[in-house]
Amino acid sequence: MAQPITHTHLDILPEVADALSQGRPVVALESTIISHGMPWPQNAEMANTVEEAVRATGAIPATIAVIAGRLKVGLTTDEIQLLARQGDAVMKCSRRDLPYVVSQGKHGATTVSATMIIAHMAGIRVFATGGIGGVHRGASESMDISADLTELGRTPVAVVCAGVKSILDIGLTLEYLETQGVPVLGFQTAALPAFYSRDSGFGVDFAIDSPADVARFLKAQWSMGMTGGAVIANPVPEADSLPREMIDAHISQALTEADAQGIKGKNITPFLLKRVTELTDGVSLVTNIALVLNNAKVAGEIAVAYSAQG
Protein backbone atom coordinates (compact mmCIF):
# COMPACT_ATOMS: atom_id res chain seq x y z
CA MET A 1 0.00 0.00 0.00
CA ALA A 2 1.30 3.46 -0.91
CA GLN A 3 2.33 5.82 1.87
CA PRO A 4 0.00 8.78 2.59
CA ILE A 5 0.95 11.91 0.65
CA THR A 6 2.30 14.73 2.83
CA HIS A 7 3.23 18.31 2.05
CA THR A 8 3.86 21.30 4.32
CA HIS A 9 0.85 23.28 3.10
CA LEU A 10 -1.42 20.44 1.96
CA ASP A 11 -4.50 19.02 3.69
CA ILE A 12 -6.15 16.00 2.04
CA LEU A 13 -9.64 14.98 3.11
CA PRO A 14 -9.39 11.52 4.76
CA GLU A 15 -11.69 9.89 2.19
CA VAL A 16 -9.51 11.22 -0.64
CA ALA A 17 -6.27 10.29 1.13
CA ASP A 18 -7.51 6.73 1.66
CA ALA A 19 -8.44 6.40 -2.01
CA LEU A 20 -5.06 7.72 -3.18
CA SER A 21 -3.10 5.47 -0.82
CA GLN A 22 -5.02 2.45 -2.15
CA GLY A 23 -4.64 3.40 -5.81
CA ARG A 24 -8.36 3.97 -6.26
CA PRO A 25 -9.67 6.52 -8.80
CA VAL A 26 -9.92 10.17 -7.75
CA VAL A 27 -11.09 13.17 -9.78
CA ALA A 28 -9.98 16.71 -8.96
CA LEU A 29 -12.55 19.52 -9.23
CA GLU A 30 -11.86 23.26 -9.28
CA SER A 31 -13.42 25.87 -7.01
CA THR A 32 -13.35 29.05 -9.11
CA ILE A 33 -16.57 27.88 -10.72
CA ILE A 34 -18.13 27.90 -7.23
CA SER A 35 -17.03 31.38 -6.15
CA HIS A 36 -16.76 33.17 -9.49
CA GLY A 37 -18.58 31.10 -12.11
CA MET A 38 -22.15 30.93 -10.84
CA PRO A 39 -24.44 32.87 -8.48
CA TRP A 40 -25.63 31.71 -5.05
CA PRO A 41 -27.32 29.27 -4.45
CA GLN A 42 -26.85 27.54 -7.82
CA ASN A 43 -23.11 27.44 -7.21
CA ALA A 44 -23.40 25.38 -4.01
CA GLU A 45 -26.02 23.10 -5.52
CA MET A 46 -23.85 22.60 -8.60
CA ALA A 47 -20.74 21.78 -6.54
CA ASN A 48 -22.55 19.08 -4.59
CA THR A 49 -24.22 17.65 -7.70
CA VAL A 50 -20.90 17.50 -9.56
CA GLU A 51 -19.33 15.56 -6.69
CA GLU A 52 -22.23 13.11 -6.83
CA ALA A 53 -21.75 12.71 -10.60
CA VAL A 54 -18.13 11.68 -9.96
CA ARG A 55 -19.18 9.23 -7.25
CA ALA A 56 -21.71 7.62 -9.59
CA THR A 57 -18.82 6.46 -11.81
CA GLY A 58 -17.03 4.75 -8.92
CA ALA A 59 -14.43 7.50 -8.46
CA ILE A 60 -13.91 9.79 -5.46
CA PRO A 61 -14.34 13.57 -5.95
CA ALA A 62 -11.72 15.98 -4.59
CA THR A 63 -12.81 19.60 -4.87
CA ILE A 64 -9.72 21.79 -4.50
CA ALA A 65 -9.41 25.24 -2.91
CA VAL A 66 -7.39 27.25 -0.40
CA ILE A 67 -9.08 27.64 2.97
CA ALA A 68 -7.45 29.91 5.56
CA GLY A 69 -4.09 29.49 3.85
CA ARG A 70 -4.23 25.69 3.58
CA LEU A 71 -4.24 23.89 0.24
CA LYS A 72 -7.31 21.68 0.46
CA VAL A 73 -7.74 18.51 -1.60
CA GLY A 74 -11.32 17.56 -0.91
CA LEU A 75 -13.72 19.99 0.75
CA THR A 76 -16.27 19.50 3.50
CA THR A 77 -19.87 20.60 2.98
CA ASP A 78 -19.21 23.64 5.20
CA GLU A 79 -16.17 24.63 3.13
CA ILE A 80 -18.17 24.43 -0.10
CA GLN A 81 -20.86 26.58 1.49
CA LEU A 82 -18.25 29.12 2.58
CA LEU A 83 -16.89 29.52 -0.96
CA ALA A 84 -20.37 29.63 -2.47
CA ARG A 85 -21.74 32.27 -0.07
CA GLN A 86 -18.67 34.53 -0.15
CA GLY A 87 -18.54 34.40 -3.94
CA ASP A 88 -16.45 37.18 -5.49
CA ALA A 89 -15.02 38.06 -2.07
CA VAL A 90 -12.92 34.89 -2.31
CA MET A 91 -9.67 35.52 -4.16
CA LYS A 92 -9.44 33.93 -7.60
CA CYS A 93 -6.15 32.00 -7.55
CA SER A 94 -3.89 31.14 -10.44
CA ARG A 95 -0.31 29.84 -10.10
CA ARG A 96 1.14 33.24 -9.15
CA ASP A 97 -1.45 33.79 -6.40
CA LEU A 98 -0.94 30.59 -4.39
CA PRO A 99 2.08 31.77 -2.35
CA TYR A 100 0.20 34.93 -1.38
CA VAL A 101 -3.01 33.28 -0.16
CA VAL A 102 -1.04 30.58 1.67
CA SER A 103 1.35 33.02 3.37
CA GLN A 104 -1.46 35.41 4.33
CA GLY A 105 -3.86 32.73 5.54
CA LYS A 106 -6.58 33.72 3.06
CA HIS A 107 -9.29 31.82 1.23
CA GLY A 108 -8.74 31.15 -2.47
CA ALA A 109 -10.84 29.68 -5.27
CA THR A 110 -8.53 27.78 -7.61
CA THR A 111 -8.49 28.22 -11.38
CA VAL A 112 -7.52 25.44 -13.78
CA SER A 113 -3.79 26.15 -13.37
CA ALA A 114 -3.86 26.31 -9.56
CA THR A 115 -6.08 23.23 -9.35
CA MET A 116 -3.64 21.30 -11.55
CA ILE A 117 -0.72 22.26 -9.32
CA ILE A 118 -2.45 21.15 -6.13
CA ALA A 119 -3.87 17.99 -7.72
CA HIS A 120 -0.37 17.06 -8.86
CA MET A 121 0.98 17.63 -5.33
CA ALA A 122 -1.58 15.12 -4.08
CA GLY A 123 -0.96 12.60 -6.85
CA ILE A 124 -4.26 13.06 -8.74
CA ARG A 125 -4.03 12.54 -12.50
CA VAL A 126 -7.54 13.46 -13.75
CA PHE A 127 -9.33 16.78 -13.31
CA ALA A 128 -12.79 17.89 -14.48
CA THR A 129 -13.71 21.51 -15.13
CA GLY A 130 -16.05 23.54 -17.35
CA GLY A 131 -13.74 25.01 -19.98
CA ILE A 132 -10.07 25.90 -20.01
CA GLY A 133 -8.73 29.43 -20.24
CA GLY A 134 -6.72 30.49 -23.24
CA VAL A 135 -5.65 33.32 -25.49
CA HIS A 136 -8.09 36.20 -25.12
CA ARG A 137 -9.49 38.04 -28.10
CA GLY A 138 -7.27 41.03 -28.84
CA ALA A 139 -4.27 39.36 -27.17
CA SER A 140 -1.95 40.74 -29.87
CA GLU A 141 -2.27 44.05 -28.03
CA SER A 142 -3.23 43.05 -24.49
CA MET A 143 -0.97 39.95 -24.21
CA ASP A 144 -3.79 38.40 -22.14
CA ILE A 145 -3.03 34.69 -22.19
CA SER A 146 -4.29 32.37 -19.46
CA ALA A 147 -1.80 30.63 -17.18
CA ASP A 148 -3.88 27.49 -17.79
CA LEU A 149 -2.03 26.98 -21.07
CA THR A 150 1.51 27.07 -19.68
CA GLU A 151 0.40 24.88 -16.76
CA LEU A 152 -0.90 22.30 -19.20
CA GLY A 153 2.54 22.33 -20.78
CA ARG A 154 4.35 21.39 -17.57
CA THR A 155 2.03 19.65 -15.11
CA PRO A 156 1.02 16.00 -15.72
CA VAL A 157 -2.72 16.23 -15.12
CA ALA A 158 -5.41 15.44 -17.71
CA VAL A 159 -8.08 18.15 -17.89
CA VAL A 160 -11.55 17.05 -18.98
CA CYS A 161 -13.42 20.10 -20.25
CA ALA A 162 -15.99 21.28 -22.79
CA GLY A 163 -13.16 22.63 -24.90
CA VAL A 164 -11.96 26.22 -24.89
CA LYS A 165 -14.26 28.88 -23.43
CA SER A 166 -16.09 30.47 -26.35
CA ILE A 167 -15.27 33.96 -25.05
CA LEU A 168 -11.65 33.35 -26.13
CA ASP A 169 -9.70 33.29 -29.40
CA ILE A 170 -10.00 29.57 -29.99
CA GLY A 171 -7.66 29.37 -32.97
CA LEU A 172 -4.80 31.12 -31.18
CA THR A 173 -5.41 29.03 -28.06
CA LEU A 174 -4.93 25.86 -30.10
CA GLU A 175 -1.72 27.26 -31.60
CA TYR A 176 -0.42 28.06 -28.11
CA LEU A 177 -1.26 24.57 -26.86
CA GLU A 178 0.59 23.06 -29.81
CA THR A 179 3.65 25.17 -28.97
CA GLN A 180 3.47 23.91 -25.38
CA GLY A 181 3.29 20.31 -26.64
CA VAL A 182 -0.16 19.73 -25.14
CA PRO A 183 -2.30 17.13 -26.94
CA VAL A 184 -5.97 18.00 -27.45
CA LEU A 185 -8.10 14.86 -27.47
CA GLY A 186 -11.69 14.89 -28.64
CA PHE A 187 -13.81 12.53 -26.56
CA GLN A 188 -16.05 10.82 -29.11
CA THR A 189 -15.65 13.81 -31.46
CA ALA A 190 -13.25 15.13 -34.09
CA ALA A 191 -14.57 18.68 -33.64
CA LEU A 192 -13.28 20.89 -30.85
CA PRO A 193 -16.24 21.97 -28.70
CA ALA A 194 -16.57 25.61 -27.68
CA PHE A 195 -18.02 25.44 -24.18
CA TYR A 196 -21.69 26.33 -24.80
CA SER A 197 -21.59 24.82 -28.32
CA ARG A 198 -20.57 21.38 -29.55
CA ASP A 199 -18.50 22.61 -32.50
CA SER A 200 -16.11 25.57 -32.53
CA GLY A 201 -15.27 25.23 -36.21
CA PHE A 202 -11.83 23.86 -35.27
CA GLY A 203 -10.66 20.26 -35.01
CA VAL A 204 -8.91 18.32 -32.25
CA ASP A 205 -5.53 16.61 -32.50
CA PHE A 206 -6.88 13.12 -31.90
CA ALA A 207 -10.41 11.72 -31.63
CA ILE A 208 -10.66 9.00 -28.97
CA ASP A 209 -13.82 7.00 -28.39
CA SER A 210 -13.62 5.40 -24.92
CA PRO A 211 -12.38 6.15 -21.39
CA ALA A 212 -10.08 3.11 -21.62
CA ASP A 213 -8.45 4.50 -24.78
CA VAL A 214 -7.96 7.88 -23.12
CA ALA A 215 -6.38 6.15 -20.12
CA ARG A 216 -3.99 4.24 -22.39
CA PHE A 217 -3.04 7.48 -24.14
CA LEU A 218 -2.23 9.13 -20.79
CA LYS A 219 -0.26 6.11 -19.60
CA ALA A 220 1.81 6.18 -22.80
CA GLN A 221 2.41 9.94 -22.58
CA TRP A 222 3.59 9.93 -18.99
CA SER A 223 5.51 6.64 -19.17
CA MET A 224 7.68 8.25 -21.87
CA GLY A 225 8.63 11.03 -19.48
CA MET A 226 6.45 13.62 -21.21
CA THR A 227 5.46 15.46 -18.07
CA GLY A 228 2.88 17.92 -19.41
CA GLY A 229 -0.87 17.54 -19.23
CA ALA A 230 -3.54 16.81 -21.81
CA VAL A 231 -6.85 18.40 -22.79
CA ILE A 232 -9.77 15.97 -23.04
CA ALA A 233 -12.38 17.94 -24.97
CA ASN A 234 -15.85 16.62 -24.16
CA PRO A 235 -18.80 18.29 -25.96
CA VAL A 236 -21.77 19.58 -24.00
CA PRO A 237 -24.74 17.18 -24.35
CA GLU A 238 -26.61 17.88 -27.59
CA ALA A 239 -29.87 18.68 -25.79
CA ASP A 240 -28.13 21.48 -23.87
CA SER A 241 -25.96 22.89 -26.66
CA LEU A 242 -26.54 26.49 -27.77
CA PRO A 243 -26.15 27.80 -31.34
CA ARG A 244 -22.66 29.15 -31.85
CA GLU A 245 -23.89 32.19 -33.79
CA MET A 246 -26.18 33.24 -30.94
CA ILE A 247 -23.47 32.83 -28.30
CA ASP A 248 -20.91 34.68 -30.43
CA ALA A 249 -23.28 37.66 -30.77
CA HIS A 250 -23.78 37.83 -27.00
CA ILE A 251 -20.05 37.48 -26.37
CA SER A 252 -19.29 40.33 -28.77
CA GLN A 253 -21.73 42.56 -26.90
CA ALA A 254 -20.27 41.55 -23.53
CA LEU A 255 -16.72 42.22 -24.76
CA THR A 256 -17.73 45.69 -25.93
CA GLU A 257 -19.25 46.41 -22.53
CA ALA A 258 -16.19 45.08 -20.71
CA ASP A 259 -13.92 47.31 -22.79
CA ALA A 260 -16.11 50.36 -22.09
CA GLN A 261 -15.95 49.63 -18.36
CA GLY A 262 -12.20 49.00 -18.34
CA ILE A 263 -12.55 45.41 -17.13
CA LYS A 264 -9.33 43.47 -17.78
CA GLY A 265 -7.08 40.69 -16.54
CA LYS A 266 -8.48 37.96 -14.34
CA ASN A 267 -11.73 39.90 -13.88
CA ILE A 268 -12.68 39.63 -17.54
CA THR A 269 -13.75 35.97 -17.62
CA PRO A 270 -16.14 36.16 -14.62
CA PHE A 271 -17.63 39.36 -16.07
CA LEU A 272 -18.16 37.84 -19.51
CA LEU A 273 -19.71 34.63 -18.18
CA LYS A 274 -22.07 36.59 -15.93
CA ARG A 275 -23.03 38.98 -18.72
CA VAL A 276 -23.68 36.16 -21.19
CA THR A 277 -25.93 34.54 -18.58
CA GLU A 278 -27.89 37.79 -18.34
CA LEU A 279 -28.10 38.24 -22.12
CA THR A 280 -29.42 34.68 -22.57
CA ASP A 281 -31.97 35.09 -19.75
CA GLY A 282 -30.22 32.37 -17.77
CA VAL A 283 -30.20 29.76 -20.54
CA SER A 284 -26.40 29.75 -20.73
CA LEU A 285 -26.22 29.01 -16.98
CA VAL A 286 -28.30 25.87 -17.54
CA THR A 287 -25.90 24.86 -20.32
CA ASN A 288 -22.92 25.64 -18.09
CA ILE A 289 -24.22 23.33 -15.36
CA ALA A 290 -25.02 20.58 -17.87
CA LEU A 291 -21.54 20.62 -19.38
CA VAL A 292 -19.82 20.59 -15.99
CA LEU A 293 -21.86 17.56 -14.94
CA ASN A 294 -21.08 15.82 -18.21
CA ASN A 295 -17.36 16.52 -17.78
CA ALA A 296 -17.44 15.17 -14.22
CA LYS A 297 -19.02 11.94 -15.46
CA VAL A 298 -16.49 11.43 -18.25
CA ALA A 299 -13.58 12.35 -15.95
CA GLY A 300 -14.79 9.77 -13.43
CA GLU A 301 -14.94 7.11 -16.14
CA ILE A 302 -11.41 8.00 -17.31
CA ALA A 303 -10.07 7.94 -13.73
CA VAL A 304 -11.63 4.51 -13.17
CA ALA A 305 -10.08 3.20 -16.41
CA TYR A 306 -6.70 4.76 -15.57
CA SER A 307 -6.71 3.15 -12.13
CA ALA A 308 -7.71 -0.24 -13.55
CA GLN A 309 -4.73 -0.22 -15.90
CA GLY A 310 -2.34 -0.11 -12.96
Strands 60-67 and 108-110, how do they pair? antiparallel
Q: Where does the chain show beta strands of DSSP type E?
A: 10-12, 26-29, 60-67, 70-73, 91-93, 108-110, 126-128, 158-161, 184-187, 206-208, 230-233
Q: What is the 3-state secondary structure (H, E, C) of 108-120?
A: EEECHHHHHHHHH
Contact status, residue 133 vs residue 150, Cβ threshold 8 Å: no
- 3 state DSSP class of 173: helix
Residue 114 CB coordination number (10 Å): 29
In contact, 252 and 169? CB cutoff 8 Å: no
**Catalytic residue numbers?**
30, 165
- Pick from 23, 30, 32: which is nearest to 86 by CA? 32
Q: For residue 11, list its beta bridge partners.
A: 72
Identify the CA nearest to 114 among candidates 86, 150, 88: 150
